[in-house]
Structure 1
Amino acid sequence: MLKVLPKQKSSSTVSLLEILSMAVETLWSNKLRTGLTMLGVIIGISSVIAITSVGQGVQKGTEQQIQALGPDVLSVFSGAARSGNIRQGIGSSSTLTWDDAKAIAQQAPSAQIVSAYLVRNAQIVYAGQNSSTPIYGTDLNYPEVRDIQIENGRFFNQEELDTAKEVAVIGPTAESTLFNDGDSPIGKRIRIQGEAYEVIGVTQSKGSQGGMDRDDVVFLPLSSMSARLVGNNALSGVSVNGILIKAGNQEQLNAVQFQVTNILRLRHNIYPPQTDDFRITNQADIISTFTNIVGLFTVMVVAIAGISLVVGGIGIANIMLVSVVERTREIGVRKAVGATNSAILNQFLAEAIVISTVGGGIGIGSGILIAFVAATIFKFPFVVSFWSVIVGFGLSLTVGLLAGVIPARNASKLDPITALRSD
């Protein structure tokens, strides 16, 4: 209900407080209408906050995952096999060998560290406990390229690699799955595809990223895995799934990629216009490309959420216009006892701003909560940028101000006599 401002209080501060107090009282007396009016703003602001936060969280999580692989690391994968006219996935063909990795280490000046590896998923078993775990057959350089540290025991040595020794290094998740009695796994023998391997070390925890548990892993000597588990050698040498090449820094990646490409083409007798039977991935390029894609996607979805704000603003304007019609007689009474056009204008503007501000605050809280729940469920970093909150709150104020202008102006211009005659 509209009230008459006491004339004896002329302070602008007191007047503003009274206007806000009356606006809140009027809105509170019409809770359902006020709630429905706020809904559009709440949905729009919460969408902006949640989508921006989720986009930044996914981007940060992916960047962390790629950074964990090494921003200065090149990955070389085997080519894709073909079945008829169907091209299978990268790495489905045995086109890379351990000798390729050794040649790169010797002949590529910009390559600092080179490591070859095999990878398969297999069942590991110990004393009735079992788990399906990624098995990596690696050389001695793999821990340095992937920054793998040993928590207990040790990594296998050159002699064990040369003799295809049956030894294994396991991750903390594999340890807790198989050895749940709390005993140290060092010296125990696990079985992988029926082959027995002695556990000689446990790696430090690297955590999970992007839903992938990097601690659920087993490392074997590449020679042992190739001979005992895979049994899939190339025509010459030991077949590998990939080769990791660490450069001195990111600036040298292009030079390393150029050198590796030429070395492999010469070794594989590939000449133009023949297609390479390998693929080289640059981690820095992946980060840049992914950042651009996520950025564009976030902008697009935030723009869609902005449309919700516009719809919310239209909703506020409609409700306020209806409110002016419903309260025509009250406006006439107020004008008849001395209320100015400015006072009427200010009260209706205040009501629109209060609706959008409170709705914006609820929207910000809801957006942050949605982003937190999404980050918890899908396991990516929880990120809420300060600018998105400020922009969201600023948008809610702007929507309220713009949506309230026309209704407030209409209310302030009502003729008091006509207003008093209305039913």
Structure 2
Amino acid sequence: MQDLEFKTESKVATIEILAMAADALWTNKLRSGLTMLGVIIGIASVISITSIGAGASKSTGDRFRALGTDVLQVMAGASKSGNISQGQGSSSTLTWDDAKEIAAQVPAAQVVWAYLQQRAQVVYGDRNTLTTIYGTDLNFPDARNTYPQSGRFFNADELETARQVAVLGPTVQKTLFGEGVDPTGSKIRIKGEVYEVIGLMETKGSQGPVDRDDAIYLPLTIASARLVGNNALTGISVSGIYVKAANQAQLEAAQFQVTNLLRMLHNISPNESDDFSVSNQADIIQTFTTVLSLLSVMVVAIAGISLVVGGIGIANIMLVSVVERTREIGIRKAIGATQSAILSQFLFEAILISTIGGGIGIGSGIGIAAIASAAFKFPLIISMESVAAGFGISVAVGLIAGVVPARSAAKLDPIVALRSD
């Protein structure tokens, strides 16, 4: 019975101390809010950065996996203006004939797709849009697992004879023709040239900020002749070549074979550098994930510094609060308050500040991540581990920061405290 009464009294005392701590914080709302700021910024940074990093990583990974992790990307070399590189694919070092030779001579290659890419304005009637034009060969639908939902893709005769036909992506179709309108048979203009629309590709959606449906597909031959001109020394210049291996186990073999074949076709001597680059999709995903993880760690470390600063701010404010409330502490001790009660009150105030700040920080972090997800079109991934860690850290910051001020308050001599102004 006595144990039950003790537990009840202890519970009531704890509730009273919490109520007094909350009342003290509410009385000094502005100061309490400013004290929380460091904790809020730190926790919001941890939550938002981990969520944004996870979403961006998944989006980019999905984008590469859409091509397949058993795919190689061969890019043309970089041209230079003065000493400034224009980036991979800006030089005319790859041709359609290279792609045909890879398909014929690389045993590990299952599907080879060459493409020419350029941005251009497209006009239909009084409507126009800036979109990406892809000059492709016949292997594009199978290589990208993307097929027409209406009409058809161009055929071998249209590719060989450079017919002015086009297949639209759904985004271009909606912009130029309107929702639900079949564009097949219509005429559009690209760089002043008239093209007949023969098909509409199926919807593939967005991958991160990239809208896969915002594109037009032309035969590679007409794209080369009309959009960029045949600027290779021999054959038709292409921006790049995709090589799909029979399976992921043969990817390294395919990369070795493609590299050696292209060096031979381009007459590159052993001591000369490649005029092309071959990228392994799996390696690209791994590299991107590693870089993103390192950036996340760096930002979380910076957020940790913000939490330390926030903890110092809490400790300083609580010490000031002890000085301001010296007489109050003296009165409480004079009417029977114990050292543990005074210690608990100031410790609870510090924990309450950091906990409320942590809760606001968690909400702010999730909000920032949601806004970034909507703006940049990647998945919203909230890690419950980071939320739990953020809340735990905020409580720990308050506990650690409140110990010294609380002990200082608890040890005050009641007579000295009562004499203070």
TM-score normalised by structure 2 residue count? 0.93
Partners in 1 of 2:23 and 2:347 — Cα distance? 14
Q: Quick check: 1:264 aligned with 2:228? A: no
Contact 1:9 1:15 in 2 (8 A): no
Unpaired runs of 5+ in structure 1?
1-6
Aligned to 1:171: 169
Pairs within 5 Å for 1:225-304:
225-304=223-302
Per the TM alignment, residue 86 of structure 1 is displaced from its structure 2 partner at its CA by 4.9
Q: Measured at CA, do residues 388 and 181 of structure 1 come closer, stay the same or move farther in structure 2, by a change above 3 Å?
A: closer
Partners in 2 of 1:145 and 1:126 — Cα distance? 29
TM-score normalised by structure 1 residue count? 0.93
Which is worse superposed, 9-18 or 187-196? 9-18
Aligned to 1:11: 9
Partners in 2 of 1:82 and 1:22 — Cα distance? 71
Partners in 2 of 1:312 and 1:162 — Cα distance? 69
Q: Measured at CA, do residues 365 and 283 of structure 1 come closer, stay the same or move farther in structure 2, by a change above 3 Å?
A: same
Aligned to 1:112: 110
Identity rate, percent:
66
Determine which of 364, 367, 373 is the counterpart of 2:365: 367
Partners in 1 of 2:145 and 2:180 — Cα distance? 26
Per the TM alignment, residue 82 of structure 1 is displaced from its structure 2 partner at its CA by 4.3
Per the TM alignment, residue 84 of structure 1 is displaced from its structure 2 partner at its CA by 5.6
Aligned length: 417
Unpaired runs of 5+ in structure 2?
none
The Cα offsets for residues 81-117 of structure 1, whole Å up to 9 and x where unpaired, read as 3456554432222222212111111211111110111
Q: Measured at CA, do residues 318 and 211 of structure 1 come closer, stay the same or move farther in structure 2, by a change above 3 Å?
A: same
Partners in 1 of 2:329 and 2:265 — Cα distance? 90
Partners in 2 of 1:13 and 1:152 — Cα distance? 72
Show structure 1 runs of 4+ deviating over 4 A: 7-10, 82-87
Contact 1:114 1:141 in 2 (8 A): yes
Amino acid at match of 2:165: V
Q: Measured at CA, do residues 289 and 327 of structure 1 come closer, stay the same or move farther in structure 2, by a change above 3 Å?
A: same
Partners in 2 of 1:189 and 1:339 — Cα distance? 89
Aligned to 1:305: 303
SS in 2 for 1:239: coil
Pairs within 5 Å for 1:60-75:
60-75=58-73
Q: Quick check: 1:23 aligned with 2:15? A: no
Amino acid at match of 2:56: V
SS in 1 for 2:196: strand
Amino acid at match of 2:246: G
Per the TM alignment, residue 61 of structure 1 is displaced from its structure 2 partner at its CA by 2.3
Q: Measured at CA, do residues 196 and 350 of structure 1 come closer, stay the same or move farther in structure 2, by a change above 3 Å?
A: same
Amino acid at match of 2:199: G
Partners in 2 of 1:240 and 1:22 — Cα distance? 74
Q: Quick check: 1:187 aligned with 2:175? A: no
Contact 1:70 1:145 in 2 (8 A): no
The Cα offsets for residues 48-71 of structure 1, whole Å up to 9 and x where unpaired, read as 222222222222222222223332
Partners in 2 of 1:65 and 1:302 — Cα distance? 26
Which is worse superposed, 29-38 or 96-105? 29-38
Per the TM alignment, residue 131 of structure 1 is displaced from its structure 2 partner at its CA by 2.0
Determine which of 51, 69, 72 is the counterpart of 1:53: 51
Partners in 2 of 1:34 and 1:86 — Cα distance? 54
Which is worse superposed, 396-405 or 325-334? 325-334
Partners in 2 of 1:188 and 1:235 — Cα distance? 35
SS in 1 for 2:404: helix
Per the TM alignment, residue 177 of structure 1 is displaced from its structure 2 partner at its CA by 1.7
SS in 2 for 1:200: strand
Contact 1:48 1:305 in 2 (8 A): yes
The Cα offsets for residues 225-247 of structure 1, whole Å up to 9 and x where unpaired, read as 23344331533322222111011
Which is worse superposed, 136-145 or 396-405? 136-145
Amino acid at match of 1:223: T
Pairs within 5 Å for 1:66-105:
66-82=64-80, 86-105=84-103
Aligned to 1:4: none
Amino acid at match of 2:60: T
Amino acid at match of 1:279: S
Per the TM alignment, residue 180 of structure 1 is displaced from its structure 2 partner at its CA by 2.8
Amino acid at match of 1:225: A
Partners in 1 of 2:124 and 2:321 — Cα distance? 74
How large is the RMSD of aligned CA atoms in angstroms? 2.0
Which is worse superposed, 110-119 or 9-18? 9-18
SS in 2 for 1:90: coil
SS in 1 for 2:79: strand
Which is worse superposed, 255-264 or 217-226? 217-226
The Cα offsets for residues 374-415 of structure 1, whole Å up to 9 and x where unpaired, read as 222233332221111111101100000001101111111111
Amino acid at match of 1:189: K
Contact 1:97 1:237 in 2 (8 A): yes
Partners in 1 of 2:392 and 2:179 — Cα distance? 57
Contact 1:361 1:393 in 2 (8 A): yes
Q: Quick check: 1:221 aligned with 2:223? A: no
SS in 1 for 2:87: strand
Partners in 2 of 1:72 and 1:115 — Cα distance? 14
Amino acid at match of 1:304: I
